[in-house]
Amino acid sequence: MSAPIIVLGIESSCDETAAAVLVDGVLRSNVIAGQDVHRLWGGVVPELASRAHQEHIVPVVNEALRTAGVQKNELSAVAFTQGPGLIGALLVGTCFARSLGQALNVPLLAVDHMQAHILAHFIRDNEEREPPTFPFLNLTVSGGHTLVVLVRGPLDMEVLGSTLDDAAGEAFDKGAKVLGLPYPGGPLVDQLARTGDPKRFKLPMPAIAGLNMSFSGVKTAFNDLVRNGIARDPGFLERELPNLCASLQQCIVDILLRKLQKAGRTLGIQRIAMSGGVSANSALRTQLAALAEREGWQAHIPPFAYCTDNGAMVAMAGHFLFQAKQFAQLDTVPHPR
Ligand code: KG4
Ligand code: ZN
């Protein structure tokens, strides 16, 4: 029997410091430390993010190893997010992984954050879940990216379309900011929208060819809607808050699902998946499931904890890189873009 593949995965691309341990592709621990400091500033402050990663990385990695019941010297490899992300934040994870890999004399696995979001579908834990079979289409929706990806294999992916401006998560967060909600606004818009009417306010649908998308027009229209509303009536925001959230959310969901539908039909692919932080959105999840039913698709969405940034997806991507013997050099550097 060959030795188990034990991978430590470290994520530090934005504002979560996270680490996880996978043994032969099965998740043994998944630890995450968020960063509340950014709330005060209404968005992620890169310098503060780097400092918080420096504070959190040692305790988070130790906790991931401890709860997994794995000793450092049992690790087969150390995986880390190489990019894209904030340079200072990525540097903390990269330098830590490099030192640990060197100290333990095990290979380094340099993970692409967007690939990791997709490979989150393959994390195995205590729950029974069928991962998508290849090839499949993945809608990757996060705070920094919005992509339609053709996934041919774990390490063979092609971007078919992307946003031309803001990411879907940014559209949620910027809209929330106009409403006076704290960062990150996406989850709050989701929550408030539950009691709102998504048809109350009409926002413009962008006309972008192919599988690309745009969210800047929605952002501007939403901004104008809120500001003009408040100028006319000081009670507007308080009265309409759930309706504003529901209308913004519906417009973003419509943009995403129309492109996904187009991609599925154009390529004739019926296995559709979604991942990234915005895939935690409840309206997007239910409406994707309904669309899948109508189109005869098999739809896959990872559990909530693997949608937003986490160490498990980095370890999972690392596991595939290890199997493919795609190791990184010890002097490897972050790739912010
Ligand atoms: O993937 P992620 O954790 O980090 C990045 O790689 O960017 O995604 C974070 C984004 C943020 O914009 C956040 O507002 C959004 O995901 N998000 C949501 C929800 N949960 C997280 N957006 C809408 N509804 C949610 N429930
Ligand atoms: Zn992410």
pLDDT digits (tens, 9 = 90+) for 195-214: 999 999 999 999 999 999 99
Q: Which ligand is nearest to the CA of 43?
A: 1
Q: What CA–CA distance (Å, rounded) separates 213 from 161? A: 7
Domain 136-302: top CATH class: alpha beta
Predicted confidence at residue 297, as pLDDT, reads 96
Q: How far is the CA of 330 from the centre of ligand 1 (A)?
A: 32
Q: How far is the CA of 44 from the centre of ligand 1 (A)?
A: 13
For the segment 42-81, what is each residue's pLDDT rounded down to a tens digit?
667 677 767 877 888 989 899 999 999 999 999 999 999 9
* pLDDT at 321 > cutoff 80: yes
For residue 330, count other CB atoms closer than 10 A to its CB. Answer: 12
For residue 191, count other CB atoms closer than 10 A to its CB. Answer: 13
Predicted confidence at residue 42, as pLDDT, reads 66
Structure-block tokens of residue 264: 């599925």
pTM for this entry:
0.92
Predicted confidence at residue 186, as pLDDT, reads 96
Phi/psi for 276 (5° steps) reads 100, 160
Q: How far is the CA of 236 from the centre of ligand 2 (A)?
A: 34
Work out the average pLDDT over 202-229. 96
> Which atom of ligand 1 lies nearest, measured to the CA of 144?
7
Predicted confidence at residue 55, as pLDDT, reads 83
* pLDDT at 216 > cutoff 90: yes
Ligand 1 pocket (Cβ < 6 Å) reads 14, 142-144, 169, 172-173, 184-187, 190, 276-278, 280-281, 308-309
* pLDDT at 31 > cutoff 90: no
Predicted confidence at residue 35, as pLDDT, reads 66
CA-derived radius of gyration, the chain: 20
Predicted confidence at residue 154, as pLDDT, reads 97
The ranges of the chain annotated as CATH 3.30.420.40 are 6-126+307-323, 136-302
Q: What is the mean pLDDT of the chain?
A: 93
Predicted confidence at residue 159, as pLDDT, reads 97
Q: How far is the CA of 11 from the centre of ligand 2 (A)?
A: 9
Q: Which ligand is nearest to the CA of 215?
A: 1
Predicted confidence at residue 260, as pLDDT, reads 97
Predicted confidence at residue 37, as pLDDT, reads 65
Work out the average pLDDT over 300-309. 91
Instruction: Answer whether 33's CB lies under 8 Å from 309's CB.
Output: no
Q: How far is CA 251 from CA 54, 183, 218, 245, 293, in A?
A: 38, 20, 8, 10, 21
Residues 6+ apart with CB under 8 A from 181: 188, 189, 192
* pLDDT at 307 > cutoff 80: yes
Q: How far is the CA of 189 from the centre of ligand 2 (A)?
A: 19
* pLDDT at 151 > cutoff 70: yes
* pLDDT at 121 > cutoff 90: yes
> Which atom of ligand 1 lies nearest, measured to the CA of 173?
14
Predicted confidence at residue 32, as pLDDT, reads 86
Q: What CA–CA distance (Å, rounded) separates 86 from 93? A: 11
Positions of E strands within the chain: 6-11, 17-23, 26-33, 77-83, 108-112, 136-141, 146-153, 156-162, 271-275, 298-300
Q: Report which of residues 152 and 85 the model is more confident about.
A: 152
* pLDDT at 215 > cutoff 70: yes
Instruction: Answer whether 274's CB lies under 8 Å from 301's CB.
Output: yes
DSSP secondary structure string, 129-161? -PPPPSSEEEEEE-SS-EEEEEEEETTEEEEEE
> Which atom of ligand 1 lies nearest, measured to the CA of 117?
1
Q: How far is the CA of 240 from the centre of ligand 2 (A)?
A: 31
Residues with CB under 5 A from ligand 2 (ion): 142, 309
Q: 6-126+307-323, superfamily in CATH?
A: ATPase, nucleotide binding domain (3.30.420.40)
For the segment 155-172, what is each residue's pLDDT rounded down to a tens digit?
999 999 999 999 999 999
Phi/psi for 274 (5° steps) reads -145, 140
Ligand 1 atom 3, closest CA: 308
Q: Which ligand is nearest to the CA of 281?
A: 1
